[in-house]
Every structure is written in C-alpha cells, then in structure tokens.
A and B are shown apart, each in its own frame.
Chain A
C-alpha cells in the first residue's frame, strides 16, 4: 500500500507545485516508486515544472471520466526511473473531479507505488478538499509571511475535519510543516516572519526549510525539479526534507543569518 501525501497550503504561489515535484523526485531518487498527481484542474502546472508538458496526452479527468486508462495517462519521468506524473486537465474545471473517481484512481495507484503525492490547488474549495481527502500525511507549505501562515492554519483545520481519516475517526493525518522562500537576512531585518514564530503559531512538526533561492526559479523555467541541482542550497534543502520524510534525522540548514555573505551575494541582500 502506498503512502498518500498531500502537498497543500491554502494560499497560492507559496511553492506547492515546486515542492511536490522536488519531493517526488527526491523520493524516487532514493529508490521509492513514486507518482505525483496534479489536482489543479484548469490551472495545470506540474507538467511544466516536471518538464513533461509535451508528453501529456490524457489526464486525471480523462481517467476519472473513463475516457482513458490510468496507464495511458501516467507519464514516466525521463530522468528518474521510479517516477511517474499524472497531469491535470487544462481545459476542464474542478467540478470534473469527483470523490469516487479520485478514490478509484488512488486505490489503483496504491497497489503499484510506494508514495503518491497529491499536488493540491490553492484555496479551500472542492479541488483542495479532494486532493487532501484520502491523504495519510500532509505537507503544509508555508512562506514566512502572515497571510500564508494564517491560510496554512486554516488548511490544518480542514485536514483535521474534512478528510476521510477525520470523518472515520481514524488516526489523524500526520501533518508536516515545510517553510519555503525563507531568507535569513530578511528575517533578521524583520521583513519576514522568523521560523520560531511560524512554528509556534502552527504548532506542527517541521519537515524542512527551503531557502529563497535563484535555483528554484531556474529549475521551474527549465522544467527540471530543483532536487536534481545538488549543488544548490534549495536542492540540498529538498534532499534533507525527503530524508526526514522517510524517517531520517537530518539537522536543519540554511535558516541562520550567518550565511549572509553567501546569501547576500546571491540575492542582493542589501535591499531592506
């Protein structure tokens, strides 16, 4: 049985898809059979981040509506053997998804894969609720910013009430906090919330911290998940995150201001 992990946040633009792609890649690189599903029907992005947009024929909606088989829609990643992508439809909307259909897809994938990552759309409506409904674990992506923290808090409330585990009264979904776009220099100057404040408000286990990095933007535009960029700070931070996700203890990196000389060169740290 696969472990189903939803990558969610409430707020848009915080790095859900980037994180889903990077973590899926990291899991597959470590030998786990992994599939990452784009639930953002109508605003399909995951295929771009994964660099497989030219190979999309069928999508999640086609499978749910019985127009294509699951194997026809799954796209095999060109770089990592164990990694598959199930893209979203760009031409439909989120009403095209239904719970029974999603359950069937996840059940089928569960037999073949070790990890299923569900890349949730932003918001708290149907699309986001479908993406989280069957999850065993949740990665809540949060930026060091008050609105993002509040939206994550809202999502954590939904994870505790609007999911199958919650409705059946089963063991609660395991919640992980992933802080992205963290810039220690700007935290130090007070522009950004610091890590301790975020952790205190959300009160869940920290699974990783991804520094604000040029490597992420570059990776997105090239369609290569940043995990492959092993020299970059963000790539290493995602590798650490994956290690923690599968139960290893890895010390936290990239969260301290002493990195300033390097970071300020990379991000033009003088701006305040």
Chain B
C-alpha cells in the first residue's frame, strides 16, 4: 500500500510527478450552456464536472427536499425548513455518471453519501450567496460528474461557485475549495510527514486527506471535511496547505470569470455598462 509514500521520500515527487505544493491543472469555463441561467464546466486534473444553475425563480413543487437549505440565517441549522426563512432556497442535485469512475457502478437514488454532498454544497453556498434578496424563491444547482479522479467535493464546490457567478446571483465572494493530504498513513507515526496539496484518486485512497473550502481570499473556512484517520498534530499543516491552495484556486476562478467577461465585451455580447466599469476589464 504505501507505494506512494516510499516513492515520495526518494525524489520528493508524487505519483503523478507533482511536488507537494502543486495543484493539478485546473481548466474552467463559464456560460457553457446557452439555455441555463448560469453554467460552468470545471476540470481538476482528470476530475471533470459540469454545473447548471437555474434561478432565482419561483420554487417548484419539490420543497423541503434533502440538500435544500433555506438561505439567510438558516444556513448552518440542520433541519431548518424553508418555511420561515426569508431568503431563497438553495437546492442542489448531483448526478454521478455511471462511466465516471473506473468501476462502472450505478449509484442508488437515496445514496447517503450523495445526499451529504448535496447538503454540504447547499449549506456552503447559502451562507455566501445573498439569498435574502430573493425571498420566496429557489436557486436550483444541478451538478453532473463526468469523470472522477479525486477531490470530487472540491471540484463540485468550485463549479457551483462559477455557475452562480455566471447566473449573476449576488454573493459575498468566491467559495473556492481544494484538498490537502499528508504523506504517511495514520499508522506510521511519522512526525516528519509532509503535507500535500490537491490529492488525486490514488492518493485519496492511500493517504489521510481533507477537503477545505474558504470564502474568497480570507482564512475563513466554509467547509472542512475529513473522512480519514489522521493524527491531530497533522491537522494544522494540512489545513494551512489547504487554505493556501484555496487562495490559488480562487485566483484561477477569478481569472476565468474576468477572461470570459472581457471576451463578451469584445464580442459585443454585452455592453460595457455601468456595472462593468468598476470591474477592471483590461
């Protein structure tokens, strides 16, 4: 099992040839679907996801479903129904394509893992979107996973953020996410373990890791999910690397949005209006 670790200690290179603090290639696009209010496509290495946002619109019949959060104050309270909340409801649905991973597996409809992912993304975005501006309405975020190679939750959060930006929903800042890990498993009580940035599937299987999402360029953590056993002393290093990675991811996302905006102005799709003046379009 510790193939990865032993190879790492020799050359300080990971299985895919990256250094400890290197992200994989992130490629992102926004406005990929003409019909949607907002859409995005995002690749982190071989993890590929698509996101489509509709809304804010009138809420449909599917109310109170799992993975939907009444915005505003109800952000973190589990079970806080949309009944009394003043903000828009953020509903997330995730479809994982059968061909997305190596072993072709059909995921059950009520899979708890997916429900948890949905509720996490919904809660994370509801807290940073200005949902109070759209009372009694719903923002539907549907995410499609086309290919999985680790850092799935991070990719989903990034894609959802981009699609919300594209949909023009006001938000405080980007919610940018990435993963961080640590060399050596929990059993090896190795104090000199290095933290790693952006785990791929193989590293995720073998090494302890966590997913962290931060709000904009700050150190404030919106999502922190760790699903493997790890020494508590190792957490600080991993978290620091993860937060730093999120800042890099934010820059990348920001560049994508600005690039698209510039191109749209050039092509004349949109007027360079009042709102765009303060966004420095160069």
Q: Please say whether chains A and B are actual partners in one complex.
A: no
A binding-site residues for B, Cβ under 8 Å: none
